[in-house]
Every structure is written in C-alpha cells, then in structure tokens.
C-alpha cells in the first residue's frame, strides 16, 4: 500500500500547494519568455534591449546593447524561479509522500514549455483530492465519545 500523507500535515500541505501554484505559473511564464528570447538570440542574432536609445524595448545585436539586456535578465530570473519551483515541488512531494516518479514529472514542468501549467493543474487537483479523502477518512475513524456531565440518568 502506498504511503499516505499525515492528517496533521494538512495545513502545511495546503500552504505548500499555494506556493507550488504560484511558482509553477511564474516559472512557466518565464520559460515561455526564455523560449522567445532564444528564438531572437539564436534565430535572428539579436537580444532584447530595455530602456535604450531606440525605445522601451528594442531588438539589437548583443554587442551593441547599451541599456538593460532584458534577454539576460530573463535567463537569470527563470533560473532562480526554477530553484524556488523545485523547492515547492520537493515540499509537496515529501508532504504528500508520493513516489519519486512524480517528483521528476513535476520537476520537468519547469524545463518543458507549457508543461508546468498542465502538471500544476493535474497534481494540485490530485493532492487536494487525496487530502480531502484522507481528512474524511480520518474524521470517520476518530469518533469523539460523548461526555456526560457526571449525572446519572
């Protein structure tokens, strides 16, 4: 029988699910921006310049950028958000006591475009369902005996 999450961990699981949802959306969005940036960089040999002499956003060769290189900022931001995404993945995985395969599938969500959105939706629903079932089963098994006021009837 596979391991089940502990009922006492329910509040931590719910907060972990919120963190996982936020990090998956941010990481997935930055991954899509990263893919777009890679098309510009390797397909057209230009990076995204922000706040330069040609306007707010402008495509220029990397060597000619004088303002903020938004392409590099996207790379760095995605990297750090992916680390946070992996942390939230690890936290959900350990609290839900899932097998290692699920950890790997969730981790791939941060490196395969669009997958973080799909995986997050699936595993968020799965975790919520498992937690609801666990709490319902826990309520039925832990019946509280009625206490009397000490008077005999």
Helix H, strand E, coil C: the string for 47-70 is EEEEEECCEEEEEECHHHCCCEEH
Longest dimension (CA), the chain: 92
- Residue 143 scores a pLDDT above 70: no
Whose structure tokens read 């509280």? 144
Which pairing describes strands 68-69 and 55-60: parallel, antiparallel, or unpaired? unpaired
Quickly state the pLDDT bin for 138 (edges 50, 70, 90).
Answer: confident
Residues 86-127 have pLDDT tens digits of 999 999 999 999 999 999 999 999 999 999 999 999 999 999
Question: 47 forms bridges with which residues in the sheet?
Answer: 60
* Beta bridge partner(s), residue 95: none
Rounded-to-integer distance, Cα 48 and Cα 37, Å = 7
The domain locations on the chain are 7-135
The per-residue pLDDT for range 9-49, each reduced to its tens digit, is 889 999 999 999 999 999 999 999 999 999 999 999 999 99
* Total-model pTM: 0.83
Query: Residue 75 in 3-state DSSP?
Result: helix
């Amino acid at each position: 029988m596979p391991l089940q999450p502990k009922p006492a961990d329910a509040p931590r699981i719910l907060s972990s699910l919120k963190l996982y949802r936020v990090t998956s959306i941010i990481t997935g969005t930055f991954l899509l921006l990263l893919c777009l940036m890679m098309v510009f960089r390797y397909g057209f040999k230009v990076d995204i310049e922000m706040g330069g002499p040609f306007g707010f956003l402008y495509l220029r060769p990397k060597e000619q950028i004088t303002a903020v290189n938004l392409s590099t900022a996207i790379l760095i931001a995605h990297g750090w958000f992916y680390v946070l995404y992996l942390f939230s993945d690890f936290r959900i995985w350990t609290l839900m006591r899932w097998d290692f395969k699920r950890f790997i599938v969730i981790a791939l969500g941060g490196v395969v475009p669009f997958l973080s959105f799909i995986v997050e939706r699936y595993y968020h629903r799965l975790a919520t369902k498992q937690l609801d079932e666990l709490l319902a089963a826990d309520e039925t098994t832990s019946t509280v005996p009625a206490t009397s006021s000490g008077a005999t009837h």
